[in-house]
Amino acid sequence: MTTEQVQDRGVLARSRWAVPVFSTLLLYGVAYYACWAAFGIKIVESRALYDLGVNLALALLVFSVSRRIWPFVLLQALYFAVFYVASALKVAVLGRPIMPEDVHNLSALIEILGTVGWVAVALPLALLACMLVFNLRFRAGPARAGWALLIAVPLGAAGTPVALSTSLDAFFGNTPWDQRENFIWRGGAVHLAQESLRALAVRRPAPTEQEVLAAIRRRAEAAGGVVEPLIPLGHRRNLHLILEESFWDPTVLGAAGYSADPIDPRFRDLWRQSNHTQGLSPAFGGQTANAEFEVLCGFPVNQIAVKFEFSLLRDVPCLPRILSELGYRTVASHPNVAGFWNRYAAYGRLGFETFWAEDALDMSDRNGPFLADRSLHRQVREKLQATDDGRPVLDYIVTIDGHWMYDAGDQRPPALTSTSRIKEVGDYGNMLHYKTRQMMDAIEAIRRDDPDSLIVVFGDHLPMLGRKFAGYAESGLLPDNLGAFTGEQYDLAAATPLLVIDGRNGPLDLGRIPMYRLPGIILRLLGEDERRTIFDLAQVPSATIPRPLPDVMMTYHGNAPQELCREKTVSEACTAAAAWLSDVLLLEQDLFAGAQHALKFLDRAPSVREDLHARFQAP
């Protein structure tokens, strides 16, 4: 090879390194503009320089271990599409960008979106992985240096996550209740790195027996320190526990202009008899399984990540297991694939002996992609009768009809109109017209055939009504971004209809209660057992009822909202609620993923301190 050829190759090799610089500048600019123009998400200019620098450093490292240029550029394009444009889309729909915990929800998201999920989510991520893996090189000098840094930097960061997380928070800021604002003031790469470090920094080792006992004692003292005898309110009978997907009362939407009430008047009448009892959900617009976790296990959820997916590692005496030990047949029914939200494994952990999922049901009667409620309720009723073995039953049904995007079609010809400019508002009202009538047909059938049973019906979360909460913002109920929510708006966003029918006594007035309090109430109403359960471990402070939510907490006094607690809020109620949450999350970790020390101390845990007889009398 001549000297000139050697020099030419050197020039080409050096010019090759202009590629990651140019591609990063170009693609970052395109992503920046796309987020701004399409979704109104504009990264602060002064912070964009830092974010661009992180992306450039990452690009140079990945380029150093890449064989060819075109797969590297495609990899970069997919990266910016996912972590910038898709993150901005998620902000527009759900109020939060892509977060580290979303990895636990990824399979569920793909399933929810169906074909769109496979094309828009699974395929880009698969291409992202393939472009990276199949374009790697290992032997060249730059590659060895690149690999050294690519391995050393994450390992070093993982080794000191608390210090790094604290430093990044001090420099870039952190508003935990407003991840949209965090994304804007950090940029996609810095935001994801900062929140990944935080996830590592807040990890806790499994609680020790001494820590568990100390938490139980603190909760007893905060509740007043008095151990009262548990007096069952009811008697042995069947329990029908029904979660109604996206069930809410949309008539509070002043701009909806519905031509008729979407909700069946039969439900209106029963709900009125309960004094419009409401459950306070941990979820908004999604994460149904977190509402399930609270209603079945009696412990709160304070994050977006779904409990069934990542922190349910032990068999736990939740409501299904307790009733199974008391001689009940425990059956769960949900017309979706059994593994969605990890339900197949989770239901077994919680104590269900039977799970009828999509493969056990006739799925022919559909509204859009979802089994119609009328068919689900009929099939479950027939299957319970066919398999009756004389035991009382926990009949737990999770509906899916009514899930976003509120499909219409031949099964749902228009039953009402809406003057709202937001399409989802009209579609939701029309869907609810049919859904609530099928729901009431099922409730009436249960009351006719099983008049003494305990029936509990609740909505899992409020519906999604357009980007940036458009359906709610149009009526002045919610702002267009999560970080601007007031306490009153968080309260509205958590409250769904709750109906508890105490057999022949009719609907009960339970006021407004966080969903994690329901299983303890249900167990008392069944009148089965006087022993203490894990529900008693999460008893609330004597003067404050907390409703944890992702990154914030509402407190209640009786039925009335008391205070919105953010990270640095200092007040008596917020201090008590924060101490309660810290202890309860420690106990939750012990029970659901740890050594379950708490089970040894249940006999010493005081019950919820309130006069249940007086509180839950039928009207």
> How distant, in Å, are the alpha carbons of 331, 391, 454, 523, 525 from that of 529?
20, 16, 16, 8, 10
Consecutive H or E run containing 564: strand 560-565
Q: Same domain, yes or no, for 407 and 483?
A: yes
What is d(CA 522, CA 295) in angstroms, rounded to the nearest whole number? 10
What is the tally of structural domains in the chain? 2
Confidence (pLDDT) at 438: 96
* Residue-wise DSSP of 246-306: T---GGG-TTT--SS-SS-HHHHHHHHHTTS-EEE-S-SSS-HHHHHHHHHH-----SSS-
End-to-end CA distance of the chain: 97
> How distant, in Å, are the alpha carbons of 179, 286, 418, 471, 500 from that of 426?
29, 19, 5, 10, 29
Least confident of 88-92, 249-253, 445-449, 527-531: 527-531
- Can you say whether the dihedral through the CA atoms of 223, 227, 232, 233 is positive or negative? negative
Q: Same domain, yes or no, for 189 and 261?
A: no
What is d(CA 136, CA 127) in angstroms, rounded to the nearest whole number? 14
Confidence (pLDDT) at 530: 66
Q: Is residue 243 part of a domain?
A: yes
Q: Same domain, yes or no, for 308 and 435?
A: yes
**Tokens standing for residue 541:** 């402070």
**Nearest Cα to 38, choosing from 30, 48, 28, 49?**
30
Angle between helices 288-297 and 343-350 in degrees, nearest 10: 10
Confidence (pLDDT) at 13: 56
Q: Same domain, yes or no, for 100 and 187?
A: yes
Last residue of one domain, picked from the residues 153, 184, 201: 201
HSE, CB side, 13 Å, CA atoms: give it for residue 228.
13
Confidence (pLDDT) at 580: 95
Contact 414, 430 (CB under 8 A): yes
pLDDT reading at 23 higher than 80: yes
Average pLDDT over residues 321-327: 93
Confidence (pLDDT) at 452: 95
Confidence (pLDDT) at 239: 97
pLDDT in tens, 225-282: 544 445 566 678 999 999 999 999 999 999 999 999 999 999 999 999 999 999 999 9
Domain residues for the domain of 592 are 209-615
Average pLDDT over residues 23-47: 94
Q: Is residue 463 part of a domain?
A: yes
CB within 8 Å of 356: residues ≥ 6 apart: 331, 332, 333, 334, 380, 383
- Give the CATH number, domain containing residue 492: 3.40.720.10
What is d(CA 97, CA 106) in angstroms, rounded to the nearest whole number? 14
Q: Same domain, yes or no, for 143 and 232?
A: no
Q: Is residue 3 part of a domain?
A: no
Last residue of one domain, picked from the residues 201, 221, 238: 201
- Cα–Cα–Cα angle for 293, 181, 52, rounded to 5 degrees: 115
Q: Is residue 7 part of a domain?
A: no
Q: Is residue 216 part of a domain?
A: yes
Nearest-Å Rg of the Cα atoms of the chain is: 27
Q: Same domain, yes or no, for 428 and 541?
A: yes
**Nearest Cα to 230, choosing from 614, 615, 611, 607?**
607
- Cα–Cα–Cα angle for 102, 108, 112, rounded to 5 degrees: 120
Inter-residue long-range contacts of 55-61, CB under 8 Å, 24+ positions, other chains counted: 55/24, 55/28, 55/189, 56/20, 56/21, 56/24, 56/25, 58/189, 59/20, 59/21, 59/23, 59/24, 60/17, 60/20, 60/21, 61/146, 61/149, 61/150
Contact 591, 313 (CB under 8 A): no
Q: Same domain, yes or no, for 220 and 169?
A: no
Q: Fill in the amino acid letter for 516.
A: Y
Q: Is residue 595 part of a domain?
A: yes
Q: Fill in the amino acid letter for 215.
A: A
Confidence (pLDDT) at 602: 77
Q: Same domain, yes or no, for 381 and 414?
A: yes
**What 3-state class would DSSP assign to 495?**
strand
Q: Same domain, yes or no, for 195 and 243?
A: no
> What is the pLDDT of the chain when averaged over all its residues?
87
Q: Same domain, yes or no, for 135 and 215?
A: no
Q: Fill in the amino acid letter for 254.
A: G
Q: Is residue 325 part of a domain?
A: yes
Query: Which of 102-111, 523-532, 577-586: highest mean pLDDT?
Result: 577-586
What is d(CA 430, CA 414) in angstroms, rounded to the nearest whole number? 6
Q: Same domain, yes or no, for 611 and 592?
A: yes
Q: Same domain, yes or no, for 238 and 189?
A: no
What is d(CA 578, CA 589) in angstroms, rounded to the nearest whole number? 16
Last residue of one domain, picked from the residues 201, 221, 244: 201
Q: How confident is the model at residue 617 (pLDDT cuts 50, 70, 90)?
A: very low
Q: Which residue has the higher pLDDT, 51 or 337?
A: 51
Q: How confident is the model at residue 6 (pLDDT cuts 50, 70, 90)?
A: very low
**What 3-state class would DSSP assign to 62?**
helix
pLDDT in tens, 496-546: 999 999 999 999 999 999 999 999 999 989 986 567 899 988 888 878 999
Q: Across the chain, which distance is largest between two alpha carbons, in Å?
A: 99
- Cα–Cα–Cα angle for 203, 209, 215, rounded to 5 degrees: 75
Q: Is residue 1 part of a domain?
A: no
Q: In what order do the strands lie in the sheet with 512-514?
A: 354-356, 329-333, 393-398, 239-244, 454-459, 495-502, 278-280, 512-514
Q: In what order do the strands lie in the sheet with 552-557?
A: 545-549, 552-557, 560-565
Question: How many C-beta neighbours within 10 Å does residue 298 have?
Answer: 27
